[in-house]
Structure 1
Amino acid sequence: MSYSGDTRVGGPADVRDLPELTISKLAVGRMDNNAYLLRCKRTGEAVLIDAADEADRIVDLIGDGGLARVITTHRHPDHWQALAEVVGVTGARTVAHPDDAEELPVSVDDPVEHGDRVPVGECSLEVVHLRGHTPGSIALRYDDPEGVTHLFTGDSLFPGGVGKTWSDADFRSLLTDVGERVFADMGDETWVYPGHGKDTTLGTERPHLDEWRERGW
């Protein structure tokens, strides 16, 4: 069955099989968070994006293949409820932007800035700093050498708009970063994997950028 990105809490992971990387999307917790397990096909090394909740289900998803790193997209607690337990079980290194690191329940082993790369075996993710939802919110970009770009956006970009902000200045900051660092730099076929709910593509969202700007959220 082909990947759809439509998952539900308590249900199975939806798995996307790329030439060099496998992406497993799992919905967890009462806020319907998404946790993403990425595993390099050549080496078997795996990285988790957001140990959001339900550590037992995340550990089951990881299985016997082990986990090298957990990347936390931002400081909000619904994205790290399972972080300490998953790290404790797997021994994985922790990755986050330094502007959000102090709010996490574990120390950050590998702080990352805009443009840095996080290895996933022989694959890698590029860090995209998107300021506004939180000061240290990041997205992770994977450029499939045989396909399209895949972007894991945390709570910075969803179907229908950018993430929630708490001031006009934060909204303008986030919309500017999303415009310049995402839409201006990536094609319409880019697949977007958000921190909650269903996936989308940049081509689906691009026509609405001016509408988001005018409505202010």
Structure 2
Amino acid sequence: MYTGTVRVGGGPDVRELEHLTITKVAVDERMSNNCYLLTCRDTGEQVLIDAADSAETLLPLIGADGLAAVVTTHQHWDHHRALADVVSATGAAVVAGAPDADEITAQTGVPVTWPVEDGDTVAVGSCTLEVIRITGHTPGSIALLYDDPAGHPHLFTGDSLFPGGVGNTFGDDAAFATLLDDVESKIFGRLPDETWFYPGHGDDSTLGAERPALPEWRKRGW
């Protein structure tokens, strides 16, 4: 039974959907980043969301089936420390939001082969992830939506949305307003309560569980 609760040094948590397998693992004791390996159950093709750290953990999960792409949700250093090693070992394409792409390359030495914009799609075999641009935590942060044809939507939010609030904007009031506006309009304004979301750190939640708190988040300013 998938719970979405993982701990650094522990095993992954695996969710089997009809067409897609989601494998969640936590890496790095200090930052406790979540990494998500998505595997198409029809074709075996795989995509990794955030090669955050610990290639020695990620590469055995990827295994012999290889990796089509690594999607980096945003430019912050803790979300791409294993990017170079994973790409070197697998030959995977590198996907990131266009406004963050140059900074990711500057920090990692890895070229972003596919800078994406709002509304672009990333294939995982026969499954499709839709790119949703969420500006505020960084200029080019992206979320990835898998609208499961056999169930409810699944949303990978990076550091833009967590249980209990939006991502850190480091005291920048304008960035906070932009981030919350995007989260409200592009996520809560569009997707149903049963949407399950998977953040860049910590446990998962659903939009229905978080929706009542949106006015409180805006009032408190973080």
TM bucket (normalised to shorter chain) is over 0.9
* 2-structure distance, mates of 1:90, 1:197: 27
Q: RMSD value over aligned CA atoms?
A: 0.5
Which residue does the alignment assign to 1:187? 192
Runs of 4+ in 1 over 2 A off after TM superposition: none
For 1:6, the aligned partner's letter is T
2:177 is paired with a residue whose SS is helix
Which residue does the alignment assign to 1:197? 202
Determine if the alignment matches structure 1 residue 68 to structure 2 residue 68: yes
Aligned residues: 216
Determine if the alignment matches structure 1 residue 169 to structure 2 residue 174: yes
Which residue does the alignment assign to 1:22? 21
* 2-structure distance, mates of 1:132, 1:10: 31
CA apart distance, 1:102? 1.2
For 1:43, the aligned partner's letter is T
Alignment of 1:151-162 (within 5 A): 151-162=155-166
CA apart distance, 1:64? 1.0
Q: Deviations over 1:160-204 (max 9, x none)?
A: 000000300000000000000000000000001000000000000
* 2-structure distance, mates of 1:142, 1:187: 13
Determine if the alignment matches structure 1 residue 13 to structure 2 residue 12: yes
Task: Provide TM-score, normalisation by structure 1.
Answer: 0.99
2:122 to 118, 122, 127: 118
* 2-structure distance, mates of 1:62, 1:10: 17
* 2-structure distance, mates of 1:125, 1:31: 26
- Percent of matched pairs sharing the same residue: 62
Q: Unaligned 5+ residue runs, structure 2?
A: none
Q: Deviations over 1:72-98 (max 9, x none)?
A: 000000000000000000000000011
CA apart distance, 1:114? 0.3
Alignment of 1:96-111 (within 5 A): 96-104=96-104, 105=108, 106-111=110-115
For 2:26, the aligned partner's letter is A
Which residue does the alignment assign to 1:211? 216
1:103 is paired with a residue whose SS is helix
* 2-structure distance, mates of 1:98, 1:114: 9
* 1-structure distance, mates of 2:157, 2:11: 21
* 2-structure distance, mates of 1:140, 1:13: 20
CA apart distance, 1:103? 1.5
Which residue does the alignment assign to 1:137? 141
